[in-house]
Amino acid sequence: MNDVTMNDTTMNDTTINATPTKDPVAPLLAVRELTVEIGGVTLLDIDELETDRAEIVGLVGESGAGKSLLQAAILGLLPVSARVTGSIRFDGIEIVGASRRTMHEVRGGRIAVVLQAARAALTPTLRSDEWIDRALSLHDVPKAERAVRLAHALDAVRLDPRLLHRYPHQLSGGEAQRVSIALAVALRAELVLADEATSALDVTVQAEVAELFRELRASEGTAFLLVSHDLALVAGLAHRINIIERGRIVEHGGPEILEHPADPVTQALVAAKPALPRADATAA
């Protein structure tokens, strides 16, 4: 299933199984001592953030806490004026200061992104099948293989193939989100950055998409970094949760940290969610 070459010799576990790898030596994504400074202001200062293969990690914080900036950093898309120190390693590949060529392989291909505004994230003048086909061709998937991958992806996200002949404005928010996720599956992305991926959907669809993430983790071995302000969603899905505030990770651990929040920021986030469901680490 995992056909990408491992170019990191420290990677000792190349098989993906449904349980998160607990090998501390080789996380899929490892952010270490990362600082990002723009215009003399330090906007990110992250000691450590990790995502293992087939693990769902939550990154929770309020607007402006640095969630989007961290995502941009992981994708190597920080503005040129940003000064970056530290390290972001994805499967052993250093992303800070990586070449264009390296980033082309990683960005969009091995790390996919699912955005909040599902419909707006699809180009209005392209049908969904064209959109997916072009993205696959961009990432050098041979034509013969694209159809196979697409069929598998549609199956995985339970999307009616007929919907693919539609333009984005003819899809519902949930359908559009499935198209985005289907692309991530078809690309065989190892890590999906889900940026408020369910926030714009109504509650029942939210639950469906959350369930889909859980399934894809199990069936495809995809790791998810859930970037969200929605504590309830993250608590129900994530194996590990990081609370970010003003560019720093102020608290991290299993979902149990939400039951006994130590940091005032976490306390405030928890308090803001009176109907928080019981956090359950084995939910996945």
End-to-end, the C-alpha distance of the chain in Å comes to 21
* DSSP-assigned letters across all residues of 109-172: TTEEEE-SSTTTTS-TTS-HHHHHHHHHHHTT--HHHHHHHHHHHHHHHT--GGGGGS-GGGS-
Q: Answer yes or no whether residue 81 interacts with another protein by CB under 8 A.
A: no
Q: Answer yes or no whether residue 17 interacts with another protein by CB under 8 A.
A: no
Out of 4, 18, 25, 120, the residue judged to bind another protein by CB under 8 A: 120
Smallest separation, CB 91 to another protein (Å): 16
Could you say which residues in the range 189-218 bind another protein, by CB under 8 A?
none
Could you say which residues in the range 141-200 bind another protein, by CB under 8 A?
168, 180, 183
List, in sequence order, every residue forming a beta bridge with 176; answer none if it has no partner: none
CB-CB contact of 184 with 105 (8 Å):
no
Select from 3-11, 91-99, 113-121, 256-264 the region that touches another protein (CB under 8 A): 113-121
Considering the complex, state which of residue 72 and residue 250 has its C-beta at the smaller distance from another protein: 72
Question: Which residues have CB under 8 Å from 118's CB, separation 6+?
Answer: 173, 174, 176, 177, 179, 180, 197, 200, 201
Out of 53, 67, 89, 107, the residue judged to bind another protein by CB under 8 A: 107
Q: Answer yes or no whether residue 27 interacts with another protein by CB under 8 A.
A: no
Q: How many residues bind another protein (CB under 8 A)?
A: 25
Q: Which of 97, 72, 68, 75 is nearest to 84 (CA)?
A: 97
Interacting residues with another protein (CB under 8 A): 75, 77, 103-104, 107-109, 112-113, 115, 117, 120-126, 134-135, 138-139, 168, 180, 183
